[in-house]
Structure 1
């Protein structure tokens, strides 16, 4: 019985799969092979009077910069920094990055600087989550925004002039150990949890190598037996990444943004038998006050008489009947037929969900 189950499992997986195969490398990543975020605090100089001026942490940062060159400012003297700004520098350190490689960095103003256009970032250490230095950043900023202000306080801003980038502006100083070559097993993690897809990935690896080295441990992870050593594991990982498998169909899901009225329905959504009636009632109240003069004309008191008219307009629309197994196209066609707006469609979908006719996950953003 066990042998029969092992034989039928790959066959059933293939029969239930969608029509488009994808490479394993597009479905997830190997555990440990990931980028790391780096952050640094620095000073941008060379600004055309658009810096932080007398901001305390910009002043302290500038004092730290000049102290590297043996210059010490007298106590109590703070330099005017209209041409400098305190900034935060961020970068992503890719997996397997080696010392000497270049990284792109993003520089963002930390204080009141109006624009970083034309500025130069002074040498800034980039630290990881462990507070260790993994890179050094320096260079001229490329700023896509523009900010202009007048003497009367008027301002014009295009994009965001208080942030910029330095392509290749950082140098890697230390490599990060991934641990993939010493771990007992290799672990491949799916980007989206799905039991069926995890089983198909494991089966695709086993069929390629002709053994049972891969097994799905849960809905995300696939454990792969591998001999220790970077050379053998890199070769095997390269082969695994290019194996094509058929991922499972996405679960039925309806995404609703109640603020904007946006509704997204995937193709797996089906409707059980249901009937929908959508109507619209418009109530109009018109006020027409008029001035009246009671008799006699010379003795009566002038007054304002209120005159109101109320009208109700009810738009009649037919009831739509959904048969069992209605598809996405049927839903869209029917809702368009009754003239429902995006806001009305949200209400209709919520009502179908409450009635038990919408067999899908309803996500309201």
Structure 2
């Protein structure tokens, strides 16, 4: 199996963006709910007799229907015990529909063709906020155009949940609101504050810390109108320098201008000497990629023009030297540990 390395170049200079794209309103969020239930109607692909909690659940269900049954006498393999999860969006109202995820917790082989029985979905406070029921889809070719299922023991009940209890968020009567930036950054927090105050010509926004901006609603606007305007304000946004590495897939995502300090690296049979000069050399036996990057093949030296020694160029040169994605990732991690790379490195 071949390994692939994907390098995505992102500009990390000032970017014009809307405040709503980089922030969220504190208190306006999704809420998680969870429940336990049974999926019935399976074709002998359900839980076996070793899943005693499934047999007990079947017996309890039958007892609620005035059928007294001993769990040890139940031999059906057409039933599977499942955990049901869902997200209730902000401002969801009673009667609204939502998709629910169904996951087997026993030894069922597949939930294909099953039907989820009525399931109360509870929040962390133990209260029931939604009910779920309906046919389980595991991504078959006839289910909304999806391909064949890769996880037959998990599926979705589309629009199978219904809101029973609303989660109240009273914005209308509030005088203050709070923005939370998706990334903590002093410069961006101040930029948001200045952009908002410049639009309203008064000090209605205050950056409390590098992530939190407190807002005071103008008297002539409702909170809904105010927040709608706030989210659509353009500002100069400075993205955070970051290198994201997925070790499982060999994917590296890095900003195009993340610089690397001169360093010598040895990884396996590859030795890299990163040097900077006003004009890159072109020694005998070397290979010139462009005006800013030269690879010395004899000693595996990488010469770069001053100011252009970036993660993007180094990764490109390592690929030319035949380094594998795994080796390149190891080299970048070592550079970060040695202090050659100042940007944050995140491994996922």
Measured against the shorter chain, the TM-score band is 0.7 to 0.9
**For 1:249 and 1:339, how far apart are their aligned partners in 2?**
32
The match for 1:326 is 308
- Give 1:341 deviation, angstroms: 3.6
1:361–1:145 Cα change, 3 Å? same
2:58 equivalent among 59, 62, 67: 62
Quick check: 2:59–2:70 contact (8 Å CA) kept in 1?
Answer: no
Q: 1:45 aligns with which of 40, 46, 49?
A: 40
Tell whether the 8 Å contact from 2:24 to 2:181 is kept in structure 1 after alignment: yes
Tell which deviates more after alignment, 91-100 or 316-325: 316-325
Partner of 1:317: 299
Aligned to 1:287: none
1:261 shift after superposition? 5.2
Deviation at 1:77, TM superposition (A): 5.7
Structure 2 partner of 1:98: 93
Determine helix, strand or coil for the equivalent of 2:32. strand
Unmatched segments (≥5 aa) in structure 2: 1-11, 142-147, 271-296
- Give the whole-Å Cα distance in 2 for the aligned partners of 1:117 and 1:143: 6
Conserved in 2, the CA contact under 8 Å of 1:274 and 1:322?
A: no
| Cα distance in 2, alignment partners of residues 352 and 58 from structure 1 | 52
Equivalent residue, structure 1, for 2:5: none
Distance verdict in 2 for CA 1:164–1:255, change over 3 Å: closer
Asked if residue 242 in structure 1 is aligned to residue 224 in structure 2, the reply is no
For 1:138 and 1:158, how far apart are their aligned partners in 2?
A: 21
Deviation string for 1:54-101 (max 9, x for gaps)?
3321122223323343x1315576422211111111110000001011
1:203-242, aligned counterparts within 5 Å?
A: 203-226=194-217, 232-242=222-232
Contact 1:272–1:323 (CA under 8 A) maintained in structure 2: no
Q: Quote the offset at 1:359 in angstroms.
A: 3.6
Q: For residue 255 of structure 2, what is the aligned residue in structure 1?
A: 266
2:110 and 2:153 in contact (8 A); partners too: yes
CA distance in 2, matches of 1:258, 1:164: 27
Task: For residue 353 of structure 1, report the CA deviation from its aligned partner.
Answer: 4.8
Partner of 1:138: 133
Q: Contact 2:183/2:211 (CA < 8 Å) preserved in 1?
A: yes
Task: Show structure 1 runs of 5+ residues with no match.
Answer: 1-16, 147-156, 282-314
1:110 Cα deviation after fit: 1.4
Aligned twin of 1:186 = 177
Normalised TM-score (structure 2)? 0.75
1:184 CA drift (Å): 5.8
Tell me by how many angstroms 1:278 deviates: 8.3
**Equivalences, count:** 303
Mapped to 1, the partners of 2:299 and 2:149 lie a distance apart of 48
Give the alignment's TM-score, normalised by structure 1: 0.72
Match of 1:280 among 269, 276, 280: 269
**Shift in Å at residue 181 of structure 1?**
4.6
Distance 1:259 1:159 in 2: 18
Q: Residues 138-165 of structure 1: CA distance to partner in whole angstroms, max 9, x if unpaired?
A: 111122269xxxxxxxxxx951211111
Deviation of the 1:193 alpha carbon = 1.1
Specify which of 124, 134, 150 is matched with residue 129 of structure 1. Answer: 124
Equivalence for 1:20:
15
| Residue equivalent to 1:254 | 243
Q: Secondary structure at the match of 2:87?
A: strand
* Aligned partner of residue 62 in structure 1, secondary structure: helix
For residue 176 of structure 1, the aligned residue among 167, 171, 184 is 167
Q: Distance in 2 between matches of 1:61 and 1:278?
A: 57
Q: Does the C-alpha gap of structure 1 residues 339 and 79 become closer, same or farther in structure 2, counting only changes over 3 Å?
A: closer
Secondary structure in structure 2 of the residue aligned to 1:198: helix
